[in-house]
Chain A
Amino acid sequence: MRLRVVILAMALVAAGGADRVFAQQQPPPDFVPVENAPAGEQIPAMPLLGAAYGFIWVGLLGYVWSLARRLRQVEAELTELESRKR
């Protein structure tokens, strides 16, 4: 009897029926596909875009301001030193 079952199973595998045999053993899927992502899960692009451009604008303006301030300071110091030397 057991030999017959083994032979039958082997015959099914050989005939390409293995998919059907093993498919019956798979549990139901945990992940359910949907057509569209839930609205709360979508990542909006606008805040990311705004943050990227905002960061660059603020960074550039801040750097230009800092550079101008440092240049003014050092040039004022230089003028004072040169006038003292004379």
Chain B
Amino acid sequence: MTRSMVAMLVLAAGMFAAAPFMIDAAPYEATMGLVYKIYFFHMPSAWMFLTAAVTAGVASFRLLFLKRPRADHWISAAAELAVLFGAFTLVTGPLWARKAWGVWWVWDARLTSSLMLFLIFVAYLLLRKYGGAGSDKLGAGLALFGMANVPFIYVSVNYWRTFHPPTSVVPTLPIEMGIPLWYCVTAFTLLYVILLRLRARLEHQRSRVEALYLAEDEL
């Protein structure tokens, strides 16, 4: 691990350790009370979920159209992170909704399309694990399709009827709620960058191992 990675890891760990104190200090929300504080981890998770989908899509473009084979490592890394952060988003959202809306789930455009994106990346991981030769190209196509969903998910709350808060919530947040939110967004972004780089490194080392085994077989 490089020195910059270690520094980022220490910083991210420190930020996550201090996050509960920041969140605890944030005021209650008038209609939702305490449960709205799920927002401070739910929203950054959702952003990292969408960021991972975009990363996988961009890397897929590089693999399919610019013929960069190493881009496959980044697709695998981003797809796994999309599943991880997608799971966080899809579990914490219903826990919040149960109290705020009175139901665990509604089949509106935002929730349904988010679930669909999550399932696309689960399908990607299954395809890469069991798909055999050629699954990298097929998987890249799937990841591109996943990325195409991202703008739709983001704007869906502004165009379709839903219980979900619109995108205007973030820029209009009072400062005492905005500070812990942006703090958590920074911590999640740092963690995302570290995990993405480590996961891509794992893929890179795996390809080196495969190349060495192939070289041994040829001898």
Contacts and interface: CB of A to CB of B under 8 A. Distances in A.
A45 B98 CA distance: 9
B44 to A, nearest CB: 10
Given A60-B191, A74-B209, A81-B209, A45 B35 contact: yes
B42 A48 contact: no
A51 B94 CA distance: 11
Given A45-B34, A81-B212, A52 B95 contact: yes
Contacts of A85: 212, 215-216
Interface in B60-101: 84, 87-88, 91-92, 95-96, 98-99
Contacts of A60: 16, 191
Interface of B: 16, 20, 33-35, 37-38, 41-42, 45, 84, 87-88, 91-92, 95-96, 98-99, 102, 191, 195, 198-199, 201-202, 205-206, 208-209, 212-213, 215-216
Contacts of B212: 78, 81-82, 85
Interface string A47-67: 011011101100110011001
Given A52-B91, A56-B88, A60-B191, A74 B205 contact: yes
| SS class, residues of chain A in contact with chain B | helix
Contact of A48 (B20, B98, B191): B98
B198 A48 contact: no
User: Helix, strand, loop or mixed for chain B's interface?
Assistant: helix
A85 B212 CA distance: 8
B21 to A, nearest CB: 13
B102 to A, nearest CB: 8
Contacts of B205: 71, 74-75, 78
A20 B95 CA distance: 46
A45 B33 contact: yes
Contacts of B199: 67
Contacts of A53: 20, 38, 41
Contacts of B201: 71
8 contacts: A45-B33, A49-B35, A52-B41, A55-B88, A67-B198, A78-B209, A85-B215, A85-B216
